[in-house]
Amino acid sequence: MNIQGGNFVGSLIHERKPGYTLPAELYTSQDAFEVDLEIFFRRHWIVAGVEADVPEPGDIKTLEIGKTSIIIARDDDGRLQAFHNVCRHRGARLITEHKTSVGRLVCPYHQWSYDLDGSLVYASQMNNEIDRSCHSLRPVHIRSIAGLLMICIDENAPADIDDFEKLATPRLLPFGLAEAKIAHEEVLIEEGNWKLSVDNNRECYHCEGSHPELCRTLNGLDIGFDPGALTEEQLEEWNKHSAEVVQETARWEAAGFPSSLIEEITGRTTMLRTQRFVIAESGESHTMDSKAASKRLMGEMPEFRMGDTHMHTHNSWHHFFADHAVVSYIIPLSPSRTELRSLWLVHKDAKEGFDYDLNNLITVWKATNQQDADLVKLAQQGVETTGYVPGPLSRHVERLVDLNLNWYIERLRAAGY
Protein backbone atom coordinates (compact mmCIF):
# COMPACT_ATOMS: atom_id res chain seq x y z
CA MET A 1 0.00 0.00 0.00
CA ASN A 2 1.40 3.38 -1.01
CA ILE A 3 0.69 5.82 1.78
CA GLN A 4 0.73 9.51 0.96
CA GLY A 5 3.78 11.11 2.55
CA GLY A 6 5.74 7.85 2.51
CA ASN A 7 8.82 9.31 0.80
CA PHE A 8 8.80 12.19 3.28
CA VAL A 9 8.71 9.78 6.23
CA GLY A 10 11.39 7.61 4.63
CA SER A 11 13.74 10.58 4.41
CA LEU A 12 13.09 11.43 8.06
CA ILE A 13 13.87 7.98 9.43
CA HIS A 14 17.17 7.98 7.53
CA GLU A 15 18.03 11.25 9.29
CA ARG A 16 17.61 9.70 12.73
CA LYS A 17 20.90 9.27 14.55
CA PRO A 18 21.12 6.13 16.76
CA GLY A 19 20.99 7.04 20.42
CA TYR A 20 19.00 10.21 19.76
CA THR A 21 15.34 11.17 19.69
CA LEU A 22 13.49 11.49 16.37
CA PRO A 23 13.33 14.40 13.92
CA ALA A 24 10.54 16.80 14.89
CA GLU A 25 8.31 16.03 11.90
CA LEU A 26 7.91 12.41 13.03
CA TYR A 27 6.15 13.77 16.11
CA THR A 28 4.24 16.61 14.44
CA SER A 29 3.37 16.05 10.79
CA GLN A 30 0.08 14.71 9.46
CA ASP A 31 1.94 12.61 6.89
CA ALA A 32 3.93 10.82 9.60
CA PHE A 33 0.76 10.35 11.63
CA GLU A 34 -1.02 8.66 8.70
CA VAL A 35 1.94 6.36 8.13
CA ASP A 36 2.06 5.47 11.84
CA LEU A 37 -1.65 4.64 11.86
CA GLU A 38 -1.31 2.37 8.85
CA ILE A 39 1.87 0.58 9.88
CA PHE A 40 1.63 0.38 13.66
CA PHE A 41 -2.10 0.36 14.32
CA ARG A 42 -3.51 -1.46 11.29
CA ARG A 43 -0.73 -3.80 10.14
CA HIS A 44 0.58 -4.73 13.58
CA TRP A 45 -1.17 -6.56 16.40
CA ILE A 46 -2.30 -4.04 19.02
CA VAL A 47 -3.68 -4.40 22.52
CA ALA A 48 -7.39 -3.52 22.39
CA GLY A 49 -8.66 -4.31 25.90
CA VAL A 50 -9.40 -7.35 28.03
CA GLU A 51 -11.92 -10.17 27.96
CA ALA A 52 -13.71 -8.47 30.85
CA ASP A 53 -14.70 -5.72 28.38
CA VAL A 54 -17.17 -8.23 26.90
CA PRO A 55 -17.78 -10.76 29.68
CA GLU A 56 -21.13 -12.20 28.54
CA PRO A 57 -22.62 -13.36 25.21
CA GLY A 58 -24.08 -10.33 23.46
CA ASP A 59 -21.64 -7.89 25.02
CA ILE A 60 -20.13 -5.40 22.57
CA LYS A 61 -17.35 -2.82 22.64
CA THR A 62 -16.15 -0.56 19.84
CA LEU A 63 -12.71 0.79 19.08
CA GLU A 64 -11.91 3.76 16.84
CA ILE A 65 -8.55 3.71 15.05
CA GLY A 66 -8.29 6.64 12.67
CA LYS A 67 -11.00 6.17 10.06
CA THR A 68 -11.47 2.52 11.05
CA SER A 69 -14.21 1.52 13.49
CA ILE A 70 -14.05 -1.95 15.03
CA ILE A 71 -16.64 -4.04 16.88
CA ILE A 72 -15.42 -6.55 19.45
CA ALA A 73 -18.16 -8.97 20.51
CA ARG A 74 -18.74 -12.13 22.48
CA ASP A 75 -21.01 -14.38 20.44
CA ASP A 76 -23.76 -16.73 21.62
CA ASP A 77 -21.23 -19.55 22.07
CA GLY A 78 -18.98 -17.37 24.21
CA ARG A 79 -16.37 -16.91 21.48
CA LEU A 80 -14.65 -13.59 20.83
CA GLN A 81 -15.34 -11.98 17.47
CA ALA A 82 -14.16 -8.76 15.82
CA PHE A 83 -15.53 -6.99 12.73
CA HIS A 84 -15.49 -3.71 10.90
CA ASN A 85 -18.28 -1.55 12.34
CA VAL A 86 -19.99 -0.95 9.01
CA CYS A 87 -23.10 -2.47 7.45
CA ARG A 88 -22.54 -4.49 4.26
CA HIS A 89 -25.58 -2.82 2.65
CA ARG A 90 -24.91 0.90 2.31
CA GLY A 91 -22.19 1.39 4.84
CA ALA A 92 -24.02 2.76 7.87
CA ARG A 93 -22.31 2.45 11.24
CA LEU A 94 -23.87 -0.41 13.20
CA ILE A 95 -22.90 0.42 16.80
CA THR A 96 -22.46 3.98 18.04
CA GLU A 97 -21.91 3.28 21.77
CA HIS A 98 -18.52 2.38 23.25
CA LYS A 99 -20.08 -0.54 25.11
CA THR A 100 -23.50 -2.17 24.92
CA SER A 101 -25.26 -5.55 24.89
CA VAL A 102 -27.33 -6.87 21.99
CA GLY A 103 -29.07 -10.00 20.78
CA ARG A 104 -28.11 -9.27 17.19
CA LEU A 105 -26.26 -6.53 15.36
CA VAL A 106 -29.04 -4.58 13.64
CA CYS A 107 -28.27 -1.75 11.24
CA PRO A 108 -30.26 1.35 12.29
CA TYR A 109 -30.66 2.40 8.62
CA HIS A 110 -32.47 -0.48 6.85
CA GLN A 111 -32.45 -3.06 9.66
CA TRP A 112 -30.11 -5.53 8.05
CA SER A 113 -29.37 -7.96 10.89
CA TYR A 114 -26.27 -9.95 11.73
CA ASP A 115 -25.62 -12.71 14.22
CA LEU A 116 -22.82 -12.11 16.69
CA ASP A 117 -20.54 -14.29 14.56
CA GLY A 118 -20.91 -11.66 11.82
CA SER A 119 -23.17 -13.64 9.48
CA LEU A 120 -26.00 -11.79 7.74
CA VAL A 121 -29.32 -13.33 8.81
CA TYR A 122 -31.90 -10.80 7.60
CA ALA A 123 -32.09 -8.24 4.80
CA SER A 124 -35.58 -6.81 4.45
CA GLN A 125 -36.96 -6.87 0.88
CA MET A 126 -33.68 -8.38 -0.39
CA ASN A 127 -33.56 -11.90 1.04
CA ASN A 128 -34.25 -13.37 -2.41
CA GLU A 129 -31.97 -10.97 -4.28
CA ILE A 130 -28.63 -11.53 -2.56
CA ASP A 131 -26.56 -14.40 -1.26
CA ARG A 132 -26.47 -13.65 2.45
CA SER A 133 -23.38 -15.82 2.90
CA CYS A 134 -21.44 -13.33 0.75
CA HIS A 135 -22.42 -10.34 2.87
CA SER A 136 -21.19 -11.18 6.36
CA LEU A 137 -19.48 -8.43 8.33
CA ARG A 138 -15.84 -8.01 7.37
CA PRO A 139 -13.79 -9.81 10.03
CA VAL A 140 -10.83 -8.49 11.98
CA HIS A 141 -8.21 -10.77 13.52
CA ILE A 142 -8.64 -11.14 17.27
CA ARG A 143 -6.68 -13.14 19.83
CA SER A 144 -7.04 -13.46 23.59
CA ILE A 145 -3.66 -13.85 25.25
CA ALA A 146 -4.73 -15.24 28.64
CA GLY A 147 -7.43 -12.55 28.83
CA LEU A 148 -5.54 -9.69 27.13
CA LEU A 149 -7.26 -8.83 23.83
CA MET A 150 -5.17 -8.21 20.75
CA ILE A 151 -6.45 -7.36 17.28
CA CYS A 152 -4.95 -6.84 13.83
CA ILE A 153 -6.93 -5.00 11.17
CA ASP A 154 -4.78 -6.01 8.21
CA GLU A 155 -5.82 -9.22 6.46
CA ASN A 156 -2.21 -10.42 6.57
CA ALA A 157 -1.69 -10.33 10.32
CA PRO A 158 1.90 -10.88 11.49
CA ALA A 159 2.39 -14.58 12.19
CA ASP A 160 4.72 -13.99 15.13
CA ILE A 161 1.67 -13.46 17.34
CA ASP A 162 2.08 -17.19 18.01
CA ASP A 163 5.54 -16.58 19.44
CA PHE A 164 4.18 -13.65 21.46
CA GLU A 165 1.45 -15.87 22.87
CA LYS A 166 3.91 -18.59 23.87
CA LEU A 167 6.03 -16.06 25.74
CA ALA A 168 3.24 -14.02 27.33
CA THR A 169 0.77 -16.73 28.34
CA PRO A 170 2.85 -18.29 31.15
CA ARG A 171 3.25 -14.79 32.65
CA LEU A 172 -0.41 -13.79 32.38
CA LEU A 173 -2.34 -17.01 32.92
CA PRO A 174 -1.79 -17.28 36.70
CA PHE A 175 -3.49 -13.89 37.20
CA GLY A 176 -6.82 -15.19 35.88
CA LEU A 177 -7.28 -12.12 33.73
CA ALA A 178 -9.90 -13.87 31.56
CA GLU A 179 -12.11 -14.36 34.62
CA ALA A 180 -11.45 -11.00 36.28
CA LYS A 181 -13.80 -8.01 36.24
CA ILE A 182 -13.25 -4.33 35.54
CA ALA A 183 -13.50 -2.36 38.77
CA HIS A 184 -12.76 0.98 37.12
CA GLU A 185 -12.05 2.41 33.67
CA GLU A 186 -10.67 5.82 32.75
CA VAL A 187 -9.88 7.59 29.49
CA LEU A 188 -7.25 10.32 29.46
CA ILE A 189 -6.48 12.38 26.37
CA GLU A 190 -2.77 13.15 26.30
CA GLU A 191 -1.84 16.28 24.35
CA GLY A 192 1.09 14.67 22.63
CA ASN A 193 2.16 12.31 19.87
CA TRP A 194 1.68 8.63 20.63
CA LYS A 195 5.42 7.97 20.40
CA LEU A 196 6.08 10.56 23.11
CA SER A 197 3.56 8.75 25.31
CA VAL A 198 5.37 5.46 24.72
CA ASP A 199 8.84 6.96 25.18
CA ASN A 200 7.76 8.47 28.48
CA ASN A 201 6.60 5.06 29.67
CA ARG A 202 9.85 3.36 28.71
CA GLU A 203 12.03 5.15 31.25
CA CYS A 204 11.97 6.08 34.90
CA TYR A 205 14.57 8.83 34.59
CA HIS A 206 11.72 11.24 35.33
CA CYS A 207 10.07 9.21 38.11
CA GLU A 208 11.75 10.65 41.20
CA GLY A 209 10.91 14.21 40.23
CA SER A 210 7.43 13.54 38.88
CA HIS A 211 5.78 10.51 40.50
CA PRO A 212 5.72 10.75 44.32
CA GLU A 213 2.85 8.26 44.59
CA LEU A 214 4.42 5.66 42.31
CA CYS A 215 7.86 5.98 43.89
CA ARG A 216 6.46 4.71 47.18
CA THR A 217 6.35 1.22 45.64
CA LEU A 218 8.45 1.27 42.44
CA ASN A 219 12.23 1.25 42.56
CA GLY A 220 13.11 3.36 39.53
CA LEU A 221 16.59 1.86 39.39
CA ASP A 222 14.99 -1.38 38.17
CA ILE A 223 14.42 0.39 34.84
CA GLY A 224 18.09 1.37 34.53
CA PHE A 225 20.71 3.61 36.13
CA ASP A 226 24.25 4.91 35.75
CA PRO A 227 26.36 3.16 38.43
CA GLY A 228 28.80 6.07 38.45
CA ALA A 229 26.04 8.51 39.35
CA LEU A 230 25.01 6.77 42.60
CA THR A 231 26.12 7.95 46.02
CA GLU A 232 27.57 5.38 48.42
CA GLU A 233 24.25 5.32 50.26
CA GLN A 234 22.30 4.78 47.03
CA LEU A 235 24.69 2.05 45.93
CA GLU A 236 24.27 0.30 49.27
CA GLU A 237 20.48 0.48 48.92
CA TRP A 238 20.70 -0.84 45.37
CA ASN A 239 22.87 -3.79 46.41
CA LYS A 240 20.35 -4.63 49.13
CA HIS A 241 17.48 -4.36 46.65
CA SER A 242 19.34 -6.45 44.05
CA ALA A 243 19.88 -9.23 46.56
CA GLU A 244 16.16 -9.21 47.33
CA VAL A 245 15.35 -9.34 43.60
CA VAL A 246 17.57 -12.41 43.12
CA GLN A 247 16.06 -14.10 46.17
CA GLU A 248 12.43 -13.34 45.31
CA THR A 249 12.83 -14.20 41.62
CA ALA A 250 14.25 -17.60 42.56
CA ARG A 251 11.38 -18.15 45.03
CA TRP A 252 8.69 -17.20 42.50
CA GLU A 253 10.16 -19.32 39.71
CA ALA A 254 10.61 -22.32 42.01
CA ALA A 255 6.89 -22.03 42.80
CA GLY A 256 6.05 -22.13 39.08
CA PHE A 257 5.65 -18.41 38.38
CA PRO A 258 8.01 -17.22 35.59
CA SER A 259 9.64 -13.94 36.58
CA SER A 260 12.92 -13.37 34.74
CA LEU A 261 13.30 -10.74 32.04
CA ILE A 262 11.95 -11.39 28.55
CA GLU A 263 12.97 -8.68 26.10
CA GLU A 264 11.91 -9.40 22.52
CA ILE A 265 11.89 -6.04 20.75
CA THR A 266 14.23 -5.38 17.81
CA GLY A 267 14.13 -8.18 15.27
CA ARG A 268 10.49 -8.85 16.14
CA THR A 269 7.32 -7.62 14.48
CA THR A 270 5.16 -8.08 17.59
CA MET A 271 7.31 -6.78 20.44
CA LEU A 272 7.16 -7.88 24.07
CA ARG A 273 8.99 -6.97 27.23
CA THR A 274 8.05 -8.42 30.60
CA GLN A 275 9.64 -8.94 34.00
CA ARG A 276 8.42 -9.45 37.54
CA PHE A 277 9.71 -6.66 39.79
CA VAL A 278 10.06 -6.70 43.54
CA ILE A 279 7.83 -4.02 45.05
CA ALA A 280 9.79 -1.59 47.22
CA GLU A 281 9.88 -2.13 50.97
CA SER A 282 8.66 -5.72 50.55
CA GLY A 283 5.34 -4.34 49.38
CA GLU A 284 2.33 -6.13 47.91
CA SER A 285 0.82 -3.72 45.41
CA HIS A 286 0.95 -0.24 43.89
CA THR A 287 -1.03 1.53 46.58
CA MET A 288 -0.18 4.45 48.83
CA ASP A 289 0.79 2.11 51.69
CA SER A 290 2.13 -0.68 49.42
CA LYS A 291 -0.44 -3.10 50.86
CA ALA A 292 -2.86 -5.07 48.72
CA ALA A 293 -5.83 -3.00 47.56
CA SER A 294 -8.16 -6.00 47.37
CA LYS A 295 -8.66 -8.82 49.84
CA ARG A 296 -9.29 -11.27 47.00
CA LEU A 297 -6.28 -12.83 45.29
CA MET A 298 -6.28 -12.84 41.50
CA GLY A 299 -6.42 -16.16 39.65
CA GLU A 300 -3.92 -18.68 40.98
CA MET A 301 -1.96 -16.24 43.12
CA PRO A 302 -0.89 -18.08 46.31
CA GLU A 303 -0.13 -14.98 48.40
CA PHE A 304 -0.06 -11.19 48.21
CA ARG A 305 3.72 -10.76 47.98
CA MET A 306 3.99 -11.76 44.32
CA GLY A 307 5.63 -8.58 43.05
CA ASP A 308 4.73 -6.47 40.03
CA THR A 309 4.66 -8.30 36.70
CA HIS A 310 5.33 -5.50 34.26
CA MET A 311 4.58 -6.03 30.57
CA HIS A 312 4.60 -3.75 27.55
CA THR A 313 3.93 -3.85 23.82
CA HIS A 314 4.26 -1.02 21.31
CA ASN A 315 0.84 0.44 22.25
CA SER A 316 0.39 -0.73 25.84
CA TRP A 317 1.83 -1.12 29.32
CA HIS A 318 0.52 -3.22 32.20
CA HIS A 319 1.09 -4.05 35.84
CA PHE A 320 -0.16 -7.33 37.31
CA PHE A 321 -0.21 -7.77 41.07
CA ALA A 322 -1.52 -10.56 43.27
CA ASP A 323 -4.63 -8.54 44.16
CA HIS A 324 -5.38 -6.52 41.00
CA ALA A 325 -4.14 -5.53 37.57
CA VAL A 326 -3.77 -2.24 35.71
CA VAL A 327 -4.04 -2.57 31.93
CA SER A 328 -3.30 0.54 29.83
CA TYR A 329 -3.27 0.99 26.08
CA ILE A 330 -3.10 3.91 23.68
CA ILE A 331 -4.72 4.85 20.37
CA PRO A 332 -3.45 7.88 18.39
CA LEU A 333 -6.08 10.54 17.67
CA SER A 334 -3.97 13.08 15.77
CA PRO A 335 -0.28 14.00 15.47
CA SER A 336 -0.56 15.75 18.84
CA ARG A 337 -3.34 13.87 20.69
CA THR A 338 -3.37 10.33 22.07
CA GLU A 339 -6.09 8.43 23.90
CA LEU A 340 -4.89 6.49 26.96
CA ARG A 341 -7.41 3.98 28.28
CA SER A 342 -6.69 2.37 31.66
CA LEU A 343 -8.54 -0.53 33.26
CA TRP A 344 -8.26 -1.63 36.88
CA LEU A 345 -9.20 -5.31 37.26
CA VAL A 346 -9.97 -7.36 40.36
CA HIS A 347 -11.19 -10.88 41.08
CA LYS A 348 -14.66 -11.37 39.60
CA ASP A 349 -16.17 -11.95 43.05
CA ALA A 350 -14.47 -9.00 44.78
CA LYS A 351 -17.03 -6.54 46.14
CA GLU A 352 -16.42 -2.80 46.19
CA GLY A 353 -16.67 -1.40 49.72
CA PHE A 354 -16.02 -4.81 51.25
CA ASP A 355 -13.08 -6.43 49.46
CA TYR A 356 -11.62 -3.20 48.11
CA ASP A 357 -11.89 0.56 48.39
CA LEU A 358 -12.03 2.01 44.88
CA ASN A 359 -10.10 5.16 45.72
CA ASN A 360 -7.29 3.14 47.29
CA LEU A 361 -7.25 0.83 44.27
CA ILE A 362 -6.81 3.55 41.66
CA THR A 363 -4.97 6.40 43.44
CA VAL A 364 -1.39 5.58 42.42
CA TRP A 365 -1.91 4.96 38.71
CA LYS A 366 -4.60 7.61 38.31
CA ALA A 367 -2.13 10.17 39.65
CA THR A 368 0.76 8.71 37.64
CA ASN A 369 -1.21 8.79 34.39
CA GLN A 370 -2.08 12.45 34.86
CA GLN A 371 1.50 13.34 35.75
CA ASP A 372 2.72 11.54 32.64
CA ALA A 373 0.12 13.33 30.51
CA ASP A 374 1.43 16.66 31.80
CA LEU A 375 4.99 15.68 30.85
CA VAL A 376 3.95 14.43 27.41
CA LYS A 377 2.20 17.75 26.78
CA LEU A 378 5.41 19.63 27.61
CA ALA A 379 7.39 17.34 25.31
CA GLN A 380 4.93 17.92 22.45
CA GLN A 381 5.10 21.66 22.95
CA GLY A 382 8.87 21.41 22.70
CA VAL A 383 9.08 19.31 19.53
CA GLU A 384 6.68 21.72 17.82
CA THR A 385 9.02 24.69 18.30
CA THR A 386 11.69 25.78 15.83
CA GLY A 387 14.33 25.39 18.53
CA TYR A 388 13.97 21.61 18.83
CA VAL A 389 16.75 19.36 17.62
CA PRO A 390 16.95 15.62 18.46
CA GLY A 391 18.58 15.09 21.84
CA PRO A 392 20.85 12.33 23.21
CA LEU A 393 19.45 9.36 25.11
CA SER A 394 21.24 7.93 28.14
CA ARG A 395 22.53 4.41 27.52
CA HIS A 396 21.75 3.69 31.17
CA VAL A 397 18.42 5.27 32.11
CA GLU A 398 16.94 5.66 28.61
CA ARG A 399 18.12 2.42 27.03
CA LEU A 400 14.54 1.22 26.53
CA VAL A 401 13.57 4.50 24.86
CA ASP A 402 16.39 4.03 22.36
CA LEU A 403 15.48 0.37 21.88
CA ASN A 404 11.86 1.30 21.25
CA LEU A 405 12.83 3.96 18.70
CA ASN A 406 15.18 1.49 17.00
CA TRP A 407 12.23 -0.92 16.70
CA TYR A 408 10.08 1.87 15.27
CA ILE A 409 12.66 2.68 12.59
CA GLU A 410 13.22 -1.02 11.90
CA ARG A 411 9.52 -1.66 11.32
CA LEU A 412 9.17 1.34 9.00
CA ARG A 413 12.13 0.14 6.95
CA ALA A 414 10.61 -3.34 6.81
CA ALA A 415 7.48 -1.71 5.37
CA GLY A 416 9.54 -0.13 2.60
CA TYR A 417 10.30 3.36 3.94
Domain range for 139: 53-145
| Residue 131's CATH number | 2.102.10.10
Q: Is residue 2 part of a domain?
A: no
Q: To the nearest 10°, report the CA torsion of 18, 20, 25, 27.
A: 110
pLDDT in tens, the chain (417 residues): 446 566 899 999 999 999 999 999 999 999 999 999 999 999 999 999 999 999 999 999 999 999 999 999 999 999 999 999 999 999 999 999 999 999 999 999 999 999 999 999 999 888 778 888 899 999 999 999 999 999 999 999 999 999 999 999 999 999 999 999 999 999 999 999 999 999 999 999 999 999 999 999 988 677 777 777 788 888 888 888 888 889 999 999 999 999 999 999 999 999 999 999 999 888 999 999 999 999 999 999 999 999 999 999 999 999 999 999 999 999 999 999 999 999 999 999 999 999 999 999 999 999 999 999 999 999 999 999 999 999 999 999 999 999 999 999 999 999 999
Quick one: 247 and 207 in the same domain? yes
Q: Is residue 96 part of a domain?
A: yes
Task: Please write the tens of the pLDDT for every residue from 39-58.
Answer: 999 999 999 999 999 999 99
Distance between CA atoms of residues 86 and 71, nearest Å: 9
Quick one: 313 and 400 in the same domain? yes
Q: State which of 98, 117, 145 marks the end of a domain.
A: 145
Distance between CA atoms of residues 14 and 383, nearest Å: 18
Neighbours of 73 (CB within 10 A): 28
Q: In the chain, what's the furthest Cα-to-Cα distance?
A: 82
Q: State which of 117, 145, 173 marks the end of a domain.
A: 145
Q: Is residue 318 part of a domain?
A: yes
Nearest to 2 by CA among 41, 44, 45, 34: 34
Quick one: 243 and 273 in the same domain? yes
